[in-house]
Each structure stands twice: as structure tokens, then as C-alpha cells.
Chains A and B, each alone.
Chain A
Amino acid sequence: MTEPLLVGTDLFKMYGTTPALRGSSLTVRAGEIVAVMGSSGSGKSTLLHCLAGIVRPDDGTVVYAGREISAMSDVERSALRRRDFGFVFQFGQLVPELTCVENVALPLRLDGVRRKEAERRSREWLDRLEVGDVAGKLPGQISGGQGQRVAVARALVTEPKVVFADEPTGALDSLNGERVMQLLGQAARDTGAAVVLVTHEPRVAAYADREVVVRDGASLDLERVA
């Protein structure tokens, strides 16, 4: 078995007086797809935010490739997210005034890649996700399924080590959702990216290699229990 790539241990997080995480732990190995399941409000999104370094946990540690994310400054975490992580959310993630190809190029450009080069690589990824034809359109002019594929392209364009996907198919019908999951899974395996997939849909979780259930802010690795 490969070395763990991303390890969250005993994570606690409060929002106001509401506990969102109560001692949740999760290990992600390089290249594996982990489904994080749980009912709404169980804390699965918060777990993703902590693992991705978006939110700093109140207690517990997140270690990525031997470095403790939870102890990094905001600037360092931002840089890490730009370079090593990719993100897909449920909705409202594409910048409405940028064209699709510009949206995909955004993470590259944020990290200093020149515009021409960034857009060339972005077009490749759009083609790979079967949405090469919408490259020049604005997000408002394309369908939800196309939008999610553009978002997946954007998450993978930097060839990240980990892709965090929070309900990536939540707003799609089942056919479109399945296709997006197939493409995401395929692309992740091709590039060797690990995927942390937060979902409440079993059929989406079935694209993962294993599943973790978050219940009341604590995560259960059921396969290990069994």
C-alpha cells in the first residue's frame, strides 16, 4: 500500500456554538478516490474544507505530504491550494464574466503561468472533458452539465495531487451527473490525482475506491471496522 498523502487527525471545528466536526479523522492515499458520505449537516463539507486548508480546524492536525497544513499561514495555505489542490463545487463556482476557457485558465494564471500558455493548456482540458466547443462562451450561456465539466477541467488543469469535489453532481440530473463523475474519475486516474469526493448520493460514491461516513461530526471508516 502507498504512503498516506493527506492525513487529517482528530479534527474539531466549531461554527459559533454549533460543532461541525467532533474528532473526525481521514487518510487519503495518493491516487485513490475517497467518497465522504453523510447526511446534510453531518459535517462532511467542513471536513473537506479542513483537509483542503480552506478552514483552519480548532483542534487536530492536517498533514499533507509531510507538512502540517493546519499550522501554515493563510498565504502558505493559499499557495498550496493553488499548486497542489483542485476544487469542484456544486454550483456558482465559475466566474460569470470570464469565458469558460478563461475560467479554466484562472488557477494557472493565479500561479503566474502566462496567459497564452495557460489558455492553451485549458483548451486541451476542455477537449478532454468533451466541452471544447464552449471554450469561448460565458458560464451563463452553457448548460449545468457543461458548467460542471468546465469546473472539473479547471480543477485538473494544474495537475493537482488532490482534487476536492464537494457534491460535484448535486445540481445535475443522473445522466449528466454520471458522465461528470466518469470523466472526473477517469481524469483523476490518468493524472494520478487523489480525489476527496463529498456526496450524499450512493451512486456517485460508487465511483470512489472506498467510502468514509461522517456522522455527527465524526468520521467512520466502515471498511476498516468491518
Chain B
Amino acid sequence: MSIGHSFLGLLEGRPRHGYDLKRAYDERFSPGRPLHHGQVYATLSRLLKNGLVVVDGLEPGEGPERKRYAVTDAGITDVQEWLSQPEKPEPYLQSVLYTKVVLALMTGRPADEILDVQRTEHLRLMREVTRRKTGGDLAEQLICDHALFHLEADLRWLELTAARLNELAARVRP
């Protein structure tokens, strides 16, 4: 789960304060499980160190809340790469995928391509597992089946999300 990429994506729209970032993140991607302050600042300082964000301005007063961050070109490239790269299919992937889709929608990138790329990757893996299963003994088959059922569930989610992209876009676009 990449909080960093999410921050970069959120900053693409406009520069934000650290506190503002946390609130936006919590609302969109992690309702009910807010980030700790420590996580926020650790992530931001890593991004600063890697040159993906810069401090855009300072409000008068003390503390990190007063810093406003903006994304750099390197930061945008990094987000782009992250979005276009399929995730390795694995259980409980959907939160990352969801984040990606929402970020793509927010930043005006084609979200359906993300889904298609992911879908292709999933099916590729399913074919592989299916081949392994066809050649394997019963234990191997059962293990493969477990993986297949999970992958299938992901795929179904991908299909469903693809079908409801417009609806989602209307929600997340300001």
C-alpha cells in the first residue's frame, strides 16, 4: 500500500498542507482508518528526500503543519509509472487498485486503462496457475484452485469497477 504515491497524486491537483493531505487521504482512501501523524510526516520527508515533492510555502508559526508541499516533475513521473504498472496479483489487492483508480480519475488520467492492464495481468497469472494445475497432483490442484478463486474474485471486481467508472468519476472529481 503506497501512501507516498497517493500523496503525490493528491498533490498533483494543487499544493496542500500536510494536515490537508492527511484529511484528503483519510476521506478518499481510508475512511475509518485514519493515518497517524507520524506516518504522514515520515512519508512526506521521504518524498522530500527523494526530490519528489518540494516545500512550496511556509505559513507563519511553528510546526510541520504550516508547511505547504507541491509535487515536482519527478514526482509526477513517479505517479505515472506507478499507475501504469500492474500490481502483482495477490489477495486483498483491491485497496491499492482502488486508490489507483481514484487517483487516476482525480488527476484526469484514463482509469479504464489501469483496469485493463490489471485485468490482463490477472488473466496471465490465471493462465499460468491453470497450466500448473493441469499438470499437478491433487494437492497442487487444490492450492492452485485457491489462488484461482481469489484471482477470479479480483477480476470480477475489476469488471464491476470498469462498468461503474463513470459513476465513480462523478463522485471523486471535485
Contact = CB atoms under 8 A, between A and B. Distances in A.
Q: Do chains A and B touch in the complex (CB under 8 A)?
A: yes
B28 interface: no
Contact of A205 (B116, B123, B134, B156): B123
B159 interface: yes
B127 A208 contact: yes
Given A39-B163, A202-B151, A226 B120 contact: yes
Contacts of A222: 116-117, 119-120
A223 B124 CA distance: 9
A203 B159 contact: no
A201 B153 CA distance: 11
Interface of A: 39, 182, 201-203, 205-209, 211, 213, 220, 222-223, 225-226
A207 B69 CA distance: 49
A72 to B, nearest CB: 34
B120 A206 contact: no
Given A39-B163, A203-B148, A223 B130 contact: no
Contacts of B130: 203, 206-207
B129 interface: yes
16 contacts: A39-B159, A39-B163, A182-B134, A202-B123, A202-B126, A202-B151, A203-B149, A206-B127, A206-B129, A208-B127, A211-B120, A220-B116, A222-B119, A223-B120, A226-B116, A226-B120
A213 B115 CA distance: 13
Contacts of B129: 206
Q: Which of B129, B134, B149 has the most CB of A within 10 A?
A: B134
Interface of B: 113, 116-117, 119-120, 122-123, 126-127, 129-130, 134, 148-149, 151-152, 155-156, 159, 163
A63 B169 CA distance: 41
Nearest to B162: A215
A85 to B, nearest CB: 25
Contacts, number: 43
A202 B122 CA distance: 9
B106 to A, nearest CB: 23
A206 B123 contact: yes
A107 to B, nearest CB: 28
B107 to A, nearest CB: 21
A181 to B, nearest CB: 9
A220 B120 CA distance: 11
B123 A211 contact: yes
B30 to A, nearest CB: 28
Contacts of A208: 127
Contacts of A213: 116, 119
A203 B163 contact: no
Q: Which of B119, B120, B126, B134 has the most CB of A within 10 A?
A: B120
Contacts of A226: 116-117, 120
A205 B156 CA distance: 13
Contacts of A220: 116
Contacts of B134: 182
Contact of A203 (B116, B117, B126): B126
Q: Which of B116, B122, B127, B151 has the most CB of A within 10 A?
A: B127
A182 B151 CA distance: 19
A39 B164 CA distance: 13
